[in-house]
Structure 1
């Protein structure tokens, strides 16, 4: 009963604090939550003891998994140098230098305890400055750097923190053993996270493939993933659960709308569920911090060698020290490692100075630091109290408050702009106004319409009609028929229409290996013949070698033989294809010595030339069929196949990876317009009496989900 009462109390404090924060938008909500915890501790004498193990499991696992899942993956590789430098080298430098300074400030503090304090302060919280990034015009590169650094230094900092705590608790520390153990638990932890998320991703995709697309079910599975991975890594394999959940988050199937296997409803519900969970977890952390502060202050008051004022001063010095170290490191790295022209050396640059200054101040400490500091054990192995636990808690919380206030005040001053500040989990999109078109009236009148009008369409048939009308509308606007934005969006709609017509198990793309119908087989046979013709021409002109020719011909002929093999075990085929996709993705990153020669050849220059020639020939044939008005006979499959080969050409020629920012903006705008077309067509069907009001509500709800996902991504 005590646990339930505590949870209700903290949630109540969190709600009150967040309501107040709406009236004081310039004050970080986290600071108000801390104050709420302080007031609760002082007025009603609330005191909460937390267990280290479950605290790490409940708070660390989901927060880091969510950070990894939402990290901009493309930027991780582009900024790998500065990210790894900030996340590893800067953490080590800060820990060594900071630990020495803490020992100098507080000589009575053991060395291990001093390093523990600085290690726990190393993880940064990028969400604390993301809300002001747009209005304050922080550089995109800086924001990506902060996000990537935070993701990695959460892991590296917490591992260092773990060793520092272990050294304090046991009284023994071996640098050699710690280094070996560090790499072991980090590497094996990463492997555990990668393998387990691969399994979870496969299970979720298989459920979709089997038609199990309940959005609540998938949201629950998604929420459970980090807890299971953290537990298995820590308790089964005895490796770093922190590293495991970070890697799992990075490799997790994203909730963005580019993940075509999941419906907009699943993606939206999952994203919103994560928002709520992380929002609560962060609120819990800061309220708990506020509850702990008065008791830490009380002990400091009775401490003969340390008082509250002195502790606040030490905390301020430590925050300034960490900011200066971060600034100096950023300036050093950008000066010596990021110069575009190595011959033109300029040590001082005003622009670089302000960039590095913003980088230093942006190193805000937040939820992960608080989770770690609150997890400090109360006693050592000898039974003695953990050295200066309340002092460490107080100083860490003060540094967090200093960093939040510093970023709130100084960043807008540097950029000459201002905006409210938020933190992890408090950056929920609030631009999703309810659509007025949705009629939630599901009264008995709707049932009567359905039962008395035999001409009303089912949801599936009405959805197909709406999509067909939307495709036609988009084609009318795409006058030249070759606008890449229109062709991309139309292809997505044709995908959906094709799967509806075939009553597919899921929105899977067309596949050479899984023929869904006679018309698929006919078109694939035509395309394969075209590819074979292109291969023969290249070989006759001596433009490809015998090996490349034989490999390509065998591959196409195998596909042609498979056209007549329609019988397959769906489950076996799914997991075989999933495994092969994984091997293919891994082979792109590292070269596997035992890779078959045929698999290596497909990546060389001749294989690319063959694929380009075959795709062009097949595309010409498909367009020729389109001009002979055969499209109706193939139920829009011609357009689908055309887009398939167009995307293959874009990928082979390097155009697909380099879509301009304007292309992405135009695509989003067109997707929003297409959804408005769908709403209009739903209204037409309703006014014509062809669908019931309940069916119209269902269709509108699906449209709203799609629009919400677009808005959420933006």
Structure 2
């Protein structure tokens, strides 16, 4: 009962603090959450004891998994050098140099405790700076660096913290054993995380393949994944659960990546559920911090030789030290890494300002607080953990100083201002509420039939505007609607199997026949290139085998669905791993094969397009015009990509496509209203159709964010 009461109280304090934050937008919500905890401790005398093991599992696992899940790999790959430098080398330097400095500041503090304190202060929270970036014009490169760094330094900082705590508790520490153990638990932790998320991804995809598309079920599966992975890695296998959940988050199928297999409803519900989870966990951490501060101050006065005022001064000095170390590292690294012309320029005002901003942007947040609250009460032999209350107070104060520093100093440096938020401090707007209380009226169309009519009208409307806009953008959106239209037709003919249809799979005889024609064209193109000696023997053999495999799997496939799914999933994973390994050990050879593959793909696409255009112009009754159109868009996209003209990945194209998608959804809403007014559908059916449109619109917003 005491646990339930504590949870209700903490959540109530969190709700009150966040309501107040809406009226005082200039004050960071996290500070108000801390204040709520302090007031509860002072006036209600609330005291909550935290168990180390379950606290790490309950907070570290989901927070780090979510960070990894939202990690923008493509954008940050260019900054892998500085990211790894900040996240690993800077953490080690800060721990060593900062530990020595803290020991000098507080001589009575044991060495292991000094290193433990600085290690737990290493992880940074990028969300506080992200909220400023939109209005304060922080450089995109710096924001990408902060995002990537925060993910990895959470893992490296917490591992260093774990060794510091272990050394304090046991009284023994071996640098050699710690180094070997560090690499062992990190490498195997990464392998465990990668293997387990591969299994979970396979399970989720298989459930979709079998028609199990309950959005709530998939959201629950996503939520329990990090807890299971952390528990298995840390408690059962004895490797790093922190690294495991980070790697699992990076490799997880997320709403911000390619999730065409999942319905918009699943993507929306899963994303919003994660928003809710991170929102609550982050708030709970800071409320707990506020509850702990008064007791830490009281115990500090009675049990330590440092008074509260001096401890606050020490915390401020330690924060300044962390900013200086971060600034110096950033300045030295940028000085010697940005010298493409071979000249080293020791002084640069612009670089100085950027590095100073980088130093101040190292805001400490939820992960630091989770770590310090997880410090055990006792050490080996039953004695109290040395200066635990002092560590808790200093860590809390450093978090507050770093938050206030970013709040006031970054806007000054950028000559702008914006409120600050932490992980989960912002929450997206919910989908539009729908009223379906009215009794359904007699209808002429079912929901499936109405959806087909609406899609057909939307496609017609888009085609009528096609000449006035960007043809490539319109073609891309129209092709997606044609896919949806075909899916509806197949679902209507197979009401038992209502799962979403993959664009890369064959679902009918006509599809298979058209694929066969296209594959034969690609094969002819390969033969011509080989006869003209434009490709190597190995490239020719690979291409022929690849096309033969496609014809077997797509055109002449006869597997049952379960076997086909797992065979395809295992094969894709095997080929991805093989490609990574092969590329790393045979770079020259793979480069030649890649060049030949591009030639083959371009020639095959041109041949197939010519044949499709021929079919489109001729009188044919056995092939649907829409089906030919879809195949043409497939090969046109391939040509644009291979010839370097693929605008689908440019920011301008994506922006125009997003605007057109939103415009198309507005057309669908209008058509729903027209059909409702004409009495062709009931109000409940109209609400269902609008809800699906709302889901699709929310998914667009999620992907853009």
State the TM-score bracket (shorter-chain normalisation).
over 0.9
Q: 1:499 aligned to 2:498?
A: no
Which residue of structure 1 lines up, in the alignment, with residue 506 of structure 2?
515
Deviation sequence 1:388-411 (CA, Å, 0-9, x none): 000000000000000011110101
Match of 1:332, SS?
helix
Which residue of structure 1 lines up, in the alignment, with residue 494 of structure 2?
none
Which residue of structure 2 lines up, in the alignment, with residue 405 of structure 1?
404
Whether the aligned pair in 1 keeps the contact of 2:275 and 2:424 (CA below 8 Å) is yes
Q: Please tell me the root mean square deviation across aligned C-alpha atoms, in Å.
A: 2.2
Whether the aligned pair in 2 keeps the contact of 1:531 and 1:614 (CA below 8 Å) is yes
Which residue of structure 2 lines up, in the alignment, with residue 29 of structure 1?
29
- Further displaced range: 189-198 or 478-487: 478-487
Which residue of structure 1 lines up, in the alignment, with residue 436 of structure 2?
441
Match of 1:158, SS?
helix
Which residue of structure 1 lines up, in the alignment, with residue 630 of structure 2?
640
Change (3 A) 1:178 1:457: same
Which residue of structure 1 lines up, in the alignment, with residue 169 of structure 2?
169
Q: Distance in 2 between the 1:631 and 1:377 partners? A: 76
Deviation sequence 1:330-356 (CA, Å, 0-9, x none): 11111111234323x321111111111
Whether the aligned pair in 2 keeps the contact of 1:131 and 1:427 (CA below 8 Å) is no
Deviation sequence 1:3-56 (CA, Å, 0-9, x none): 000000001111111111111111111111111111111111111111100000
Q: Distance in 1 between the 2:139 and 2:703 partners? A: 20
Which residue of structure 2 lines up, in the alignment, with residue 339 of structure 1?
339
Which residue of structure 2 lines up, in the alignment, with residue 57 of structure 1?
57
- The total of aligned residue pairs comes to 697
Deviation sequence 1:248-304 (CA, Å, 0-9, x none): 111110113741011111111111111111111011101111111111111122246
Which residue of structure 2 lines up, in the alignment, with residue 688 of structure 1?
678
Q: Distance in 2 between the 1:421 and 1:631 partners? A: 62
Change (3 A) 1:287 1:601: closer
Q: Distance in 2 between the 1:96 and 1:69 partners? A: 31
Change (3 A) 1:140 1:547: closer
Whether the aligned pair in 2 keeps the contact of 1:256 and 1:267 (CA below 8 Å) is no
- Match runs of 1:495-644 below 5 Å: 495-503=483-491, 506-511=499-504, 514-560=505-551, 565-591=556-582, 603-628=593-618, 633-634=623-624, 636-644=626-634
Whether the aligned pair in 1 keeps the contact of 2:212 and 2:499 (CA below 8 Å) is no
Q: Distance in 2 between the 1:506 and 1:602 partners? A: 41
- Match runs of 1:149-298 below 5 Å: 149-256=149-256, 258-298=258-298
Q: CA deviation at 1:157?
A: 0.1
Q: Distance in 2 between the 1:582 and 1:228 partners? A: 22
Q: CA deviation at 1:568?
A: 1.8
Match of 2:229, SS?
helix
Q: How high is the TM-score relative to the length of structure 2?
A: 0.95
Which residue of structure 2 lines up, in the alignment, with residue 381 of structure 1?
380
Whether the aligned pair in 1 keeps the contact of 2:516 and 2:555 (CA below 8 Å) is no
Q: CA deviation at 1:492?
A: 1.6
Q: CA deviation at 1:555?
A: 3.8
Match of 1:621, SS?
helix
Q: Distance in 2 between the 1:590 and 1:16 partners? A: 53
Deviation sequence 1:567-615 (CA, Å, 0-9, x none): 32101111111111112222332218999xxx97994322321221011
Deviation sequence 1:307-344 (CA, Å, 0-9, x none): 0001000000000000011011111111111234323x
Q: CA deviation at 1:362?
A: 0.4
Match of 2:445, SS?
coil
Whether the aligned pair in 2 keeps the contact of 1:209 and 1:505 (CA below 8 Å) is no
Match of 2:259, SS?
coil
Q: Distance in 2 between the 1:538 and 1:265 partners? A: 46
Q: Distance in 1 between the 2:668 and 2:257 partners? A: 18
Deviation sequence 1:449-468 (CA, Å, 0-9, x none): 24xx4xx2111121122112
Q: Distance in 2 between the 1:414 and 1:711 partners? A: 31
Q: 1:391 aligned to 2:385?
A: no
- Match runs of 1:418-433 below 5 Å: 418-430=417-429
Q: Distance in 1 between the 2:150 and 2:555 partners? A: 53
Q: Distance in 2 between the 1:480 and 1:586 partners? A: 45
Which residue of structure 2 lines up, in the alignment, with residue 700 of structure 1?
690
1:458 equivalent among 446, 450, 475: 446
Whether the aligned pair in 1 keeps the contact of 2:261 and 2:502 (CA below 8 Å) is no
Q: 1:112 aligned to 2:112?
A: yes
Q: Distance in 1 between the 2:621 and 2:396 partners? A: 67
Q: 1:315 aligned to 2:310?
A: no
Match of 1:604, SS?
helix
Q: Distance in 2 between the 1:356 and 1:574 partners? A: 50
Q: CA deviation at 1:115?
A: 0.3
Q: Distance in 1 between the 2:213 and 2:139 partners? A: 40
Deviation sequence 1:431-487 (CA, Å, 0-9, x none): x6x64xx6513322x1xx24xx4xx21111211221122122222222289822112
Whether the aligned pair in 2 keeps the contact of 1:429 and 1:712 (CA below 8 Å) is no
Change (3 A) 1:617 1:219: same
Change (3 A) 1:508 1:332: farther
Q: 1:353 aligned to 2:352?
A: yes
Change (3 A) 1:591 1:119: same
Q: Distance in 2 between the 1:563 and 1:315 partners? A: 65
Whether the aligned pair in 1 keeps the contact of 2:510 and 2:622 (CA below 8 Å) is no
Q: CA deviation at 1:677?
A: 1.1
Change (3 A) 1:506 1:76: farther
Q: CA deviation at 1:109?
A: 0.6
Q: CA deviation at 1:374?
A: 0.2
Q: CA deviation at 1:507?
A: 3.7
Q: Distance in 2 between the 1:132 and 1:594 partners? A: 44
Q: Distance in 2 between the 1:563 and 1:288 partners? A: 56
Change (3 A) 1:233 1:560: closer
Q: Distance in 2 between the 1:38 and 1:384 partners? A: 28
Q: CA deviation at 1:630?
A: 5.0
